[in-house]
Amino acid sequence: MLIEFSVTNFKSIQTTQTLSLVASPATELQEQNCFTTSEKGMPRLLRSIAIYGPNASGKSNLLEAMEFMERFVTESSKEGQEGEPIEVKPFLFNTVNRAEPSEFEVLFLQEEVRYQYGFAVNQTRVTHEWLIAYPEGRPQRWFEREYDAADNKESWYFGSKFKGHKAIFQETTRANALFLSTAVQLNNEQLKPIYNWFHQRLRTIGVGGLAPTYSASMCKTEAGRRKILELLNAADLSITDLKVEMMKFDLNDLPSDMPKPLKEVIHKELDGKEMPEIKFLHKVEGSEELVALDSDDESVGTRRLFTLAGPWLNVLENGYVLFVDELNNSMHPLMVRFLISLINNPQINRKNAQLIFSTHDTSVLDNELFRRDQIWFTEKDKNNSTKLYPLSDFTPRKGEALEKGYLKGRYGALPYIGELRF
């Protein structure tokens, strides 16, 4: 369960921006859109957050920051060698920030324990890394490492509660890798819950979306196919059944005008592998006949919903944390609303999955769907830096027409549309 995420000096984000899923004391939709945790004294957490803002305001960069953190935790110790650069991008519109490290920190609950983990990196090394655990609500600093550029020296601290071969883990950790990742690769059991939160419980879907592979793989079993079909029909799609055939990759299916080097890369990656071919079965009116449509014959919105169906069900069934960039892409507003309502429904979302998504769809800016603390905005300041803030900063009235207020500019985070003269 995600409590809070902070990022500093990453792409369009210059100063520290923090996204909090801690619910305010407000009582609206409390039983539906909030949940309590196992930690004594911990406030309620939100099931979902929607992020609005004009194009290029930094919505995607916020989600990319979480994606970078996830990827660096899971891959830094096993991908690459000593001296290889770290692909992190600092804020570039300030000469000071270019030379400063980018910093990421997350607070989360895993296996009924709260953790506070973070790190700072530049393009050559990890400059700072820390972990604080809160078993029974009391803080314990398990480890911290920090690099002093002036002395070209790294200092380490290990708390009394840290378990494992400290010297071995420390000596094995490369400058461009995380200690957390390295220690887990060397089978440190104590740190596995933290690593597993990133590796197993955190999911991100970028603006490019997903391939339908996961949803198609679910359709291989009767139970999985029925779940996907039930979700599609609940969204009022006239699909009677689904059929998935596994087809071997054929180089001849690639476009003839595709560059040869690209073809070679794709062939190397997919040669001999089976690819799912999805058929959507529709009933012919007044007949028992079924017509099978290829994926390309379905609408973009239907294909998008099918692609999301499998991962969405997986998130709900396992209580994962899901970040989605531009959830409204190619989908009708009612479909977007339907997917959000699944997350906000405690009868369906029994494992307390959480959804954080960016969107331009103002039709879901609705106080019947969201609490005031579930809506956040991004906008650029005069320094071209992203600012992230919640709707609750404006203390809107209970029952206020949120969509109308946003489009009228009451909460900011709107594009400036100038006048064009020929």
Are 339 and 415 members of one domain?
yes
Average pLDDT, the chain: 88
What per-residue confidence (pLDDT) applies to 19?
A: 97
**CA–CA separation, 96 vs 229, rounded Å?**
53
Query: What letter represents residue 61's amino acid?
Result: N
The number of folded domains in the chain is 2
Across residues 12-16, what is the average pLDDT? 95
- 234 pLDDT band (50/70/90 cuts)? confident
Domain boundaries, position 382: 1-209+325-422
- CA gap 30, 304 in Å, rounded: 31
Q: Specify whether the CB–CB gap between 216 and 239 falls below 8 A.
A: no
Beta bridge partners of 141: 132
CA distance 422 to 411: 32
- Does 165 lie in the same domain as 278? no
In the chain, what percentage of residues exceed pLDDT 90?
52
User: Does the residue 317 lie in any domain?
Assistant: no
CA distance 342 to 231: 10
Residues 266 and 161 in one domain: no
- Contact in structure between 17 and 7 (CB atoms under 8 Å): yes
* Whether residue 15 has pLDDT greater than 90: yes
> Is residue 244 located within the same domain as residue 296?
yes
Whole-number pLDDT of residue 251: 67
- What pLDDT sits at residue 164? 85
Q: Which of 312, 342, 359 is the last residue of a domain?
A: 312
CA 174/CA 178 separation, integer angstroms: 8
| pLDDT value of position 83 | 80
pLDDT of amino acid 189: 94
Q: How far apart are CA 19 and CA 17, in angstroms?
A: 7
% of the chain at pLDDT higher than 70 = 94
pTM over 0.85: yes
Q: Report yes or no on 343 lying in a domain.
A: yes
One domain for residues 64 and 202: yes
Report whether 358 contacts 60 (CB < 8 A): yes
Please state, in angstroms and rounded to a whole number, the distance separating the CA atoms of residues 361 and 374.
Answer: 15
One domain for residues 16 and 150: yes
- What is the per-residue pLDDT for 217? 86
End-to-end CA distance of the chain: 53
Stated as kind and residue range, the H or E segment containing 281 is: strand 274-283
Q: How remote is the C-alpha of 75 from its chain's centroid?
A: 17
Q: Do residues 162 and 241 both lie within one domain?
A: no
What is the domain-level CATH number for residue 175? 3.40.50
Residue 319, in any domain of the structure: no
What pLDDT sits at residue 418?
A: 67
Sequence letter at residue 364:
V
**CA 132 from chain center: how many Å?**
23
pLDDT digits (tens, 9 = 90+) for 299-343: 888 888 888 999 999 999 999 999 999 988 878 888 899 999 999
Q: What's the pLDDT score for residue 10?
A: 96
Q: Are 132 and 139 in contact (CB under 8 A)?
A: yes
pLDDT by residue (tens digit) across 398-419?
788 888 998 888 898 887 666 6
Question: Are 106 and 90 within 8 A, CB to CB?
Answer: no
Both 215 and 201 in a single domain? no
Regarding whether 221 and 205 lie in a shared domain, the answer is no
156 and 229 both lie in a single domain:
no
Q: Give 345-399 pLDDT, tens digit per residue.
A: 999 999 999 999 999 989 989 989 999 999 999 999 999 999 999 998 988 887 8
The answer, yes or no, to whether residue 270 has pLDDT greater than 70, is no
pLDDT category, 122, cuts 50, 70, 90? Answer: very high
Q: Is residue 232 part of a domain?
A: yes
pLDDT tens per residue, range 53-103? 999 899 999 999 999 999 999 998 886 678 889 999 999 888 888 889 999
Q: Is there a single domain that holds both residue 265 and residue 167?
A: no
- How does residue 250 score in pLDDT terms, banded at 50, 70 and 90? low
The answer on pLDDT for 178 being more than 80 is: yes
320, part of any domain:
no
What confidence tier does 207 reach under pLDDT thresholds 50, 70, 90?
A: low
Residue 272 pLDDT grade (very low, low, confident, very high; cuts 50, 70, 90):
low
Do 285 and 333 fall into the same domain? no
pLDDT in tens, 37-58: 877 778 899 999 999 999 989 9
Return the closest-CA partner of residue 18 out of 30, 33, 2, 29.
2
Using 50, 70 and 90 to split pLDDT, how confident is the model at 254? low
Q: What is the pLDDT of residue 123?
A: 93
What does the DSSP assignment read for 106-155? EEEEETTEEEEEEEEE-SS-EEEEEEEEEGGG--EEEEEEEEETTTTEEE
Is residue 202 scored above 80 in pLDDT?
Answer: yes
Domain boundary among 312, 344, 368: 312
- Among residues 312, 346, 361, the one where a domain terminates is 312
